[in-house]
C-alpha cells in the first residue's frame, strides 16, 4: 500500500512540475503576442500620422486647409476634408475613405 502512495505522489509531482512549465511557456507566448500587437499598433499610428500629413498637404494645395501640417486629424483638418468632399461631389462625412483619398492624391500630383 505504501508503494502505491509513493508512486501516486511521484506521478502527481511530475504532473505538477510539467503543468508549471506549460504555464510558463503559455505566459511567455502571451507576452510575445502582446509585444507583437503593440508593435502593430505603433506601426499603424506611424502610417496614420503620415497619411494625415499627406491629407493636410493635399488639402493645402487645394486651398482648403490653412493650418499646420502636423499629422493630427484636428477639427480644422476635419472641416477641410468635409469641404473637399463637398467640392468633389462626395459624401461629406469627414472620413478619408477610398474615394476621398483617390481625389486627394490628384491634388498631391499637381
Q: How many domains does the chain have?
A: 1
Instruction: Give the per-residue pLDDT at 22.
Output: 57
DSSP 62: T
Cα gap 8→10, rounded to integer Å = 5
CATH number at residue 51: 1.10.101.10
User: Which residues, other chains included, contact 70 with Cβ-Cβ below 8 Å and sequence gap of 6+?
Assistant: 53, 56
Cell of residue 10, nine digits:
511521484
Check pLDDT > 90 for residue 14. Answer: no
Cell of residue 15, nine digits:
504532473
Check pLDDT > 70 for residue 43. Answer: no
pTM > 0.85: no
Q: Residue 99's domain spans which residues?
A: 2-109
How crowded is residue 52: how many other Cβ atoms within 10 Å of its Cβ? 19
Amino acid at each position: 500500500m505504501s508503494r502505491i502512495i509513493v508512486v501516486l505522489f511521484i506521478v502527481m509531482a511530475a504532473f505538477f512540475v510539467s503543468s508549471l512549465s506549460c504555464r510558463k511557456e503559455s505566459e511567455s507566448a502571451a507576452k510575445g503576442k502582446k509585444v507583437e500587437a503593440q508593435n502593430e499598433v505603433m506601426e499603424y499610428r506611424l502610417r496614420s500620422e503620415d497619411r494625415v500629413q499627406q491629407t493636410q498637404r493635399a488639402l493645402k494645395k487645394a486651398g482648403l486647409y490653412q493650418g499646420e501640417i502636423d499629422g493630427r486629424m484636428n477639427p480644422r483638418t476635419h472641416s477641410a476634408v468635409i469641404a473637399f468632399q463637398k467640392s468633389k461631389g462626395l459624401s461629406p462625412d469627414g472620413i478619408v475613405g477610398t474615394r476621398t483619398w483617390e481625389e486627394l492624391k490628384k491634388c498631391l500630383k499637381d
